[in-house]
Amino acid sequence: MNFHIMTLFPEMIMGALSSSITGRASDKGYISFNAVNIRDYSNDNKHHKVDDYTYGGGAGMLMQAQPIYDCYLALKNSIEEKTDKKPRVIYVTPQGSVFNQKMASDFAKEDDLIFLCGHYEGVDERVLEEIVTDYVSIGDYVLTGGELPAMVMIDAISRLVPGVLNNDESAMTESFNNNLLEYPQYSRPEEWMGKKVPPILLSGDHKKVDGWRLEKSIERTKERRPDLYEKWLLENPPKPEKKKRRKKKNTEEAESVNLENLE
């Protein structure tokens, strides 16, 4: 999977994503990062200016449409040389839909994703209307630029790309899978500061362990994220209790009763 990031600070992007799990995955070819400096597409050859005052007044400067659009076209043309599919463009903005695990799974199905990182007071609306397919936020607060949110999303999406994690199963058991938080986990030693590992985890009975983990995930979600718990309940409604059937008398008892009646 290929991530293309349109930014004013490519060194910030590449420095962070080249480390840890994403860095190793990139080295192995499972994912790639391409941070492109929007200033390289400025019409101002001297100062490489990409911002200007806003029409109608107001504080701060606004990123201009043309450098962003030219940067996008260069990326789009490069991508379309390899595939006929038009790439999705994610604009990182507090005005977008809040990013979640389901959205990460959706984005992870793409071969190429383009991220647009705004700065200053934002981006000229006209270029957003022209190129953006997805408006995404990482929360209800404002940051100085889109670089940090873009890296958060890229990290979350990368974990769902096959091969990125050493254990593919771990991505399926982490928090937010099926709207549940992850269950408590323990490592050696068996006792630490008077706290013992739950005995069931030492039992070797995988079926019981799985049941315990599900139970604890449900409990933790209900306690810490009641909003997610409600979603989980909607998707997993309690099964109605089965009505108890009356025990049937065995055949011999039934025959004995019938004989008595005949006498």
What are the residues whose beta carbons fall under 8 Å from the beta carbon of 14, sequence distance 6 or more? 33, 35
- Tell me the per-residue pLDDT of 182-200, one tens digit each, with 9 for 90 and over: 999 999 999 999 999 999 9
Q: Quick one: which H or E segment has residue 5?
A: strand 2-7
Identify the pLDDT of residue 179.
Answer: 85
Identify the pLDDT of residue 137.
Answer: 96
> At 176, which amino acid appears?
F
pTM here is 0.81
Dist CA 40 CA 43 (whole Å): 9
Identify the pLDDT of residue 243.
Answer: 72
Residue 259 has pLDDT above 60, yes or no: no
Write down all domains in the chain, each with its CATH number in brackets: 2-158 (3.40.1280.10), 175-239 (1.10.1270.20)
- Tell me the per-residue pLDDT of 107-131, one tens digit each, with 9 for 90 and over: 999 999 999 999 988 999 999 999 9
